[in-house]
Amino acid sequence: MPPPALALLHGFLGFSHRGPIEYFRGVKEALRRIHIVPLIPEVPPAGCIAERAEALARKLFSSDSRAFALIGHSMGGLDARYLITYLDPDRRVKSLLTVSTPHRGSPLARWFLEAEGPIPACIRHIGNPGLRELTPEALAGMQIPDREDVDYSSYGSFRSADELPFWLRPYGHVFREDNDGMVPVSSTPWGEFRGAVHADHLELLGWSLSLPDSQAARPFNHLRFWTRIAAEAMTAAESKTG
């Protein structure tokens, strides 16, 4: 049988690419070098989880692939969970690996909804309705049960406040626990938790928006990370393909 198709799923306000700018910076080419050609479907950037998952299902299931391994960054992991539970009647998705996904919500989403100032107002303007679904309260009330035939695993990420890029530091202080500037580590475990890597939320994608710092291990080697977790996701999917 052919191997499962691998799909990389972008997060809130994300995209596949805009001209030469890739959301998953350099990852597609790095995976091609190990003979994996990933799908990178685009969904409504600020849509609600159900809307984004429906768009994802249309794009994935229009292909003739019999099995899928999904890797979701941030909100992309929530979209994938919804798709697996409600939009995959043929049970084609075999594994889901999430990376810094706010499974239990992020206090930063609540802060953006309540805070004053031009930046929170802008995020509210461009980010709803998706932003409202990323609060701890919204996700606590959302029922997305797991499927027993799917392998679920997860990673978190973190940096101390003084290691965050200057524009992320004010948001890092919204949390009172380890976080990556956008999502607390405590919100990221789902299924088998494989640990938290030393990177901020965008650095995970190859967008290290701060000066290199060997003491802080910046920039994070995102290509090595994504190459490794792609292999993990594919192996997990193959183990579920009968």
Instruction: State the pLDDT at residue 57.
Output: 98
Q: What per-residue confidence (pLDDT) applies to 78?
A: 98
Q: pLDDT grade, residue 171 (50/70/90)?
A: confident
Q: Of the ranges 81-95, 137-151, 169-183, which one carries the lowest mean pLDDT score?
A: 169-183
- Partner residues linked to 97 by β-bridges: 71, 153
Give the residue-averaged pLDDT of 131-143.
97
Helix (H) or strand (E) holding 94: strand 93-99
- Look at residue 173 in the predicted model and tell me its pLDDT: 81
Beta strands in 33-92 (DSSP E): 68-73
Global model pTM greater than 0.85: yes
Strands 151-158 and 192-198: parallel
What pLDDT shows up at residue 50? 98
Which pLDDT belongs to residue 190?
Answer: 98
For the chain, what percent of residues have pLDDT higher than 90? 90
CB proximity list for 214: less than 8 A, separation 6 or greater: none
* Model confidence band, residue 143 (pLDDT cutoffs 50, 70, 90): very high
Average pLDDT over residues 221-230: 98
Residue 84 has pLDDT above 90, yes or no: yes
Instruction: Give the β-pairing of 192-198 and 21-22.
Output: unpaired
Q: 2: pLDDT confidence band, cut at 50, 70 and 90?
A: confident
pLDDT band at 177 (very low <50, low <70, confident <90, very high): very high
pLDDT at 17: 94
Query: What is the spatial distance between Cα 137 and Cα 45, in angstroms, rounded to a whole number?
Result: 21
The yes-or-no verdict on residue 16 having pLDDT over 80 is: yes
Give me the mean pLDDT over the 139-155 stretch: 97
